[in-house]
Homo-oligomer: A and B are copies of this chain.
Amino acid sequence: MRGVSIVGIGQSPVGELWGRSARQIAYDAVSAAMYDAGIETADALYVGNMLSGNLLNQEHLGTLVADACGLYGIETAKVEAACASGAAALRVGVMAVASGFHEVVIVVGLEKMTDTVGQDTTAGLATAADAEYESLHGVSFVGLNALIMQRYLYEYKVPLDAFAGFSINAHKNGANNPNAMFRSPISREAYLRAPVIATPINMLDSSPVCDGAAAVVLTSTARAKQMNAGHRWGSVEILASASANDTLAVHDRRDPLVLEGAQVSAAKAYAQAGVSAQDLDLFEVHDAFTIMAALSLEASGFARRGEGWRLAEEGAIAVDGSLPISTMGGLKSRGHPVGATGVYQIVEVVQQLTGQAGANQVQGARLGMAQNIGGSGATVVTHILGA
């Protein structure tokens, strides 16, 4: 299997982009990534997206986006794995290059969740859960995460504000990211008085509904070394690309506090890259809710069960800590346009590994991981990148 590298990145700002349609937002990210890579065409374009059918009455996004970008006669498809759609699309792009089917591939994560024409956004997000055994009974996606968080507080006897550190760190980092949706730091006091959405989840535990797109250009590592002769930041190699599923419904899990999909996904990634959790310089975590950040850290080998929140409380997750996470604001502050998030994470790891992270630069970062979670841990995609 030949190596695969990233030679171009692009992103739109994240927010309520009422002035841009889905295809325009995707164009913004793709054209930026193509310009960054110095390419004018590609062999394939894969779109990570979850909600376009339900919210925009538009499927067939692979060809829609390629068409908007003036690309014809190439392979196009949409890849969907709920909130892990972005990284699942990257998986396909990696396999397309690794197999030798394609030389140059574009992967774009895209979601338009505001100013939509179709179904209600909350109902759309519930399609990530089991429609017949979870959603039908009225539980929303935030409701499912609230049940898990409540269980965490009970089982591990941690205080209600144990999760504050995740949100504070994300907002601190997002303040320095020009593409982040929320650029205001928050205090512990603000977290403590934030309105509750679904007990015990409050507004500052939760990532926002928003629009955005992020894109990467992939090619073989051998070709990347040729292409990047005059490139301003070189290239970044994808050292591991792995995915694992769990039960779709939370009530079917052996233990709702253990993300077995994340355990398997991370273990596969570490094996592929030949590294361990301790070798990583940063980790873009799936902090759609603060509880998910804690569970992801525990499942991926950074903390023992019930102790993920301590990494936040003790400051380890800061940009200058021992394990920086959400370094550009994470899902909480940069925003979580669901199908785009997995690609935003990758773009941000590339920024960190190539010295493009500005005020949030993790000094000397050489090895970074991103984990993208679909549903409440039902699909988990993990990538490790090295510069």
Which A positions have Cβ atoms within 8 angstroms of B? 1, 21, 23, 44, 50-51, 53-54, 56-64, 66-67, 71-82, 88, 91-92, 95-96, 98-101, 117, 123-124, 126-132, 135, 241-249, 252, 260-261, 264, 374-375, 378-379
Contact = CB atoms under 8 A, between A and B. Distances in A.
A131 B75 contact: no
A77 B92 contact: yes
B101 A56 contact: no
Contacts of A53: 51, 53-54, 124, 127
A285 B23 CA distance: 31
A29 to B, nearest CB: 18
Given A51-B53, A73-B244, A92-B95, 7 more contacts: A57-B127, A57-B131, A58-B130, A58-B131, A60-B128, A63-B379, A101-B241
A245 B91 contact: no
Contact of A60 (B80, B99, B117): B80
B245 A74 contact: yes
Q: This chain: how many copies in the complex?
A: 2
Contacts of A124: 53
Contacts of A243: 44, 75-77
A245 B50 CA distance: 21
Contacts of A91: 75, 77
The A interface is mostly helix, strand or loop, or mixed, namely mixed
Given A59-B82, A61-B80, A77-B79, A71 B245 contact: yes
A81 B73 contact: no
Contacts of A57: 54, 123, 126-127, 131, 135
A95 B91 CA distance: 11
B59 A245 contact: no
Contacts of A92: 77, 79, 92, 95
A69 to B, nearest CB: 11
Given A21-B132, A60-B81, A76 B1 contact: no
Contacts of A378: 60, 63, 67
A375 B63 contact: yes
Contacts of A44: 243
Contacts of A126: 57
9 contacts: A21-B132, A54-B59, A60-B378, A63-B245, A72-B244, A76-B243, A76-B379, A77-B88, A98-B99
B67 A101 contact: no
Contact of A59 (B23, B75, B80, B96): B80
A83 to B, nearest CB: 9
Contact of A379 (B58, B60, B261): B60
Contacts of A260: 72-73
Nearest to A93: B95
A74 B72 CA distance: 33
Nearest to A265: B73
Q: Name the 3 nearest CB pairs between A and B, nearest first.
A: A99-B99, A58-B131, A75-B243
A240 B99 CA distance: 14
Contact of A58 (B127, B241, B374): B127
Given A63-B375, A248-B64, A81 B72 contact: no
A51 B98 CA distance: 30
Given A63-B375, A81-B76, A131-B56, A99 B95 contact: yes
A132 B71 CA distance: 19
